[in-house]
DNA sequence: ACCTGAACACCGTTCAAGT
DNA sequence: ACCTGAACACCGTTCAAGT
């Protein structure tokens, strides 16, 4: 379902200027906006002034509202973007490490993501229609990734095989949320403990 | 540590009008403010306009800021007031029911309190200095109450004796927080399950 | 002492004017 | 089509003027 702006002759206007040029302009703006919003949300919280985000992205305030009519739309877009990044990180880790180490490394990456998103937890549980879809997006995107990593590690006999990936996904998230607001160090330690627990019951006890 | 404004002759000014009269005026205002704030917070959330609370309490906006310089101060005051009410509820329950039933009834009362305060959870975990003291207030006030009820029920052989009151206090709170935003019905069901679990392992198995 | 509300600052949101 | 920012509405906060 990606946008296929490429290779479409009909999109060129008669004067030779590409219609896409204005679209790429808009796309550059949304990208800059998402990037700026991510940084501002991280440092000043999700209630940060829209003006600050617009300024950081180098666009007018009106442009923010053109692309994201409500603040929640911008927040949701940033959230999806980071979910994607977290999901995508798995491939590189699988290529670089053995199954159990890749699983461990990804869980820490996932931990950092959750810890950074703690400010969003209340909004996600608020029932606000703008956020309800984020729950399923989160699960549909990350559960298969974790399942893949977990199955590979189980297959290799490097971790125990009596843990459900969904339970693990929820457990780690809950750990991170309740593990205080210490910049994620506590959360990482707790998760490492869980990972060691996974390794402890490995079928291959060599 | 209660205020003893009563029976203090030195507080009366020479003209016969009680100095206390202006104080009681102020006290009436703070009471009205706390009452109004509690209702407004419950219906419109803790971000509700201060003007609305002032209007509901029948005072000027300046009066709100005189008594509660920051919004957090008002929120904290409302929170303490409800913690007190929850703690105080135990005595009547103990007088009306047997030990295990009193414990069960109080845990549901506590559940309602937590469920109503879910909107505050993010603030409580934010590390905001205005809220840090609420954690200890919560624990110091409610833990002894629960311990008393639990010990009495254990003593009577009506519930199992291998549960720490602190763990129970936290567990029920976490249950309520994570039990969705369904108006508390889910939370009450989950807590009832826990209570049944407590009864299941009672020493007196008659 | 305490209360009040006009006044100020700030932020979300819109929309007429630009390109 | 898309971008801009002045303009408007709303809310938090202060403080000079009242009692």
Give domain status of residue B114, yes or no.
yes
pLDDT band at A159 (very low <50, low <70, confident <90, very high): very high
Statement to judge: residues B125 and B153 lie in one domain: yes
Average pLDDT over residues A9-35: 66
Assign B109 a pLDDT band (cuts: 50, 70, 90). Answer: very high
Question: End of a domain among B69, B97, B117?
Answer: B69
* pLDDT higher than threshold 90 for residue B94: yes
Residues B127 and B171 in one domain: yes
Q: What is the DSSP string of A130-147?
A: HHHHHHHHHHHHHHHHHH
What pLDDT sits at residue B21?
A: 53
B140, exposed or middle or buried, with CB in 10 Å at 0-12, 13-18, 19+?
exposed
> Per CB distance under 8 Å, which residues of B are interface residues toward A?
118-119, 121-122, 125-127, 174, 178, 180-181
Confidence check: pLDDT of B99 > 50:
yes
**Does residue B1 fall inside a structural domain?**
no
- Residues A171, A191, single domain; the answer is yes
A1 located within any domain: no
CB-CB contact of A90 with A98 (8 Å): no
For residue B201, what are the domain limits?
78-206
pLDDT at A9 over 50: no
pLDDT 10s digits, B119-140: 777 677 777 777 888 989 999 9
Q: Does A65 share its domain with A86?
A: no
Which band of pLDDT confidence, cut at 50, 70 and 90, is reported for residue A22? low
Mean pLDDT rounded to a whole number for chain A? 83
Quote the number of domains for chain A: 2
Q: Residue B189 in contact with residue B97, Cβ under 8 Å?
A: no
- Is the CB of A181 less than 8 angstroms away from the CB of B126? yes
C-alpha B93/C-alpha B105 separation (Å) is 7
pLDDT top residue among A78 and B8: A78
Is A64 in the same domain as A102? no
Q: Which residue has the higher pLDDT, B155 or B196?
A: B155
Q: Give me the percent of chain B exceeding a pLDDT of 90.
A: 50
Structure-model confidence comparison of residues A182 and B114, the more confident one: B114
- Specify if A103 maps to a domain: yes
Evaluated on CA atoms A123, A125, A129, A131, the torsion sign reads positive
A122: chain B residues, CB-CB within 8 Å: 119, 121-122
Name the residue closest to D11, CA to C1'.
Answer: B49
> Using an 8 Å Cβ cutoff, are A81 and A34 in contact?
yes
Q: Which of residues 30-69 of B touch strand D (CB under 7 A)?
A: 47-51, 61-62, 65, 69
Burial class (CB in 10 A: 0-12, 13-18, 19+), B200: exposed
pLDDT-derived band at A2 (thresholds 50, 70, 90) equals: very low
CA of A76 to C1' of C7 (A): 38
pLDDT at A151 over 50: yes
Statement to judge: residues A31 and A103 lie in one domain:
no
Q: Is residue A155 assigned to a domain?
A: yes
- Mean local confidence (pLDDT), A109-133: 80
And the tokens for B18? 């009680």
Examine the domain organization and report whether B24 and B118 are in the same domain. no
Asked whether residue A43 is domain-assigned, the answer is yes
Nucleotides of D under 7 A from a protein CB: 1-7, 10-16
Of A118, A127, A174, Cβ closest to residue B181: A127
What is the average per-residue pLDDT within B31-52?
94
Instruction: Write out the residues of chain A at the interface with chain B, using a CB-CB cutoff of 8 A.
Output: 118-119, 121-122, 125-127, 174, 178, 180-181
Determine contact, residues B112/B184, Cβ cutoff 8 Å.
yes
Boundary-marking domain end, from A37, A69, A101: A69
Name the residue of chain A whose CA is nearest to B170's CA.
A178
pLDDT exceeds cutoff 70 at A180: no
pTM strictly above 0.85: no
Element holding A74 (H helix, E strand): helix A71-96
Cβ pair B122:A122 closer than 8 A: yes
DSSP secondary structure of A39-53? HHHHHH-TT--HHHH
In a domain, A36, yes or no: yes
Separation CA B129–CA B70 (nearest Å):
12
* Choice between B21 and A47, residue whose per-residue pLDDT is larger: A47
- Across the range A146-164, mean pLDDT stands at 94
pLDDT band at B183 (very low <50, low <70, confident <90, very high): low
Residues A33 and A122 in one domain: no
B1-36 pLDDT per residue, tens: 333 333 333 343 333 344 445 567 889 999 999 999
Residues B206 and B129 in one domain: yes
Distance in Å, residue B60 CA to nucleotide C4 C1': 6
Say whether A119 and B122 touch across the interface (CB within 8 A): yes
Of A12-21, A108-117, B14-23, B101-110, least confident by mean pLDDT is: A12-21
Q: Among A125, A126, A181, whose Cβ lies nearest the Cβ of B125?
A: A181
CB contact under 8 A, A122 and B127: no
SS3 per-residue string spanning B133-196: HHHHHHHHHHHHHHHHHHHHHHHCCCCCCCCCHHHHHHHHHHHHHHCCCCCCHHHHHHHHHHHH
Q: Identify the top-confidence range among A64-78, B22-36, B191-205.
A: A64-78
Domain check: are B95 and B179 in the same one?
Answer: yes
For position B38, what pLDDT does the model report? 94
Q: Which of A7-21, A156-170, B40-54 has the lowest mean pLDDT?
A: A7-21
Provide the CATH number for the domain around residue A43.
1.10.10.60
- Residues A36, A125, single domain; the answer is no
Tell me what pLDDT residue A90 has: 98
Given B19, B35, B69, the domain boundary residue is B69
Q: Are residues B95 and B192 in the same domain?
A: yes
In a domain, A89, yes or no: yes
Q: Report the percentage of chain B scoring pLDDT > 70.
A: 82
Burial class (CB in 10 A: 0-12, 13-18, 19+), B69: exposed
Task: Supply the CATH number for residue A88's domain.
Answer: 1.10.357.10
């Amino acid at each position: 379902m990606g946008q296929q702006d490429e290779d479409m002759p009909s999109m060129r206007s008669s004067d030779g200027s590409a219609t896409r040029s204005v679209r790429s302009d808009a796309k550059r703006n949304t990208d800059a906006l998402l990037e700026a919003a991510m940084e501002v949300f991280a440092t000043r919280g999700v209630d940060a002034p829209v003006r600050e985000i617009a300024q950081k992205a180098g666009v007018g305030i009106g442009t923010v509202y053109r692309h994201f009519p409500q603040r929640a739309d911008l927040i949701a877009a940033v959230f999806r973007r980071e979910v994607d990044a977290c999901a995508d990180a798995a491939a590189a880790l699988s290529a670089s490490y053995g199954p159990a180490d890749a699983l461990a490394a990804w869980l820490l990456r996932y931990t950092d993501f959750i810890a950074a998103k703690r400010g969003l937890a209340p909004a996600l549980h608020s029932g606000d229609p703008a956020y309800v879809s984020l729950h399923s997006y989160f699960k549909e995107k990350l559960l298969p990734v974790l399942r893949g990593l977990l199955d590979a590690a189980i297959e290799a006999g490097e971790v125990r095989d009596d843990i459900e990936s969904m339970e693990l996904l929820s457990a780690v998230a809950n750990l991170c949320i309740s593990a205080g607001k210490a910049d994620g160090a506590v959360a990482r330690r707790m998760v490492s403990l869980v990972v060691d627990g996974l390794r402890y019951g490995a079928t291959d006890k060599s």
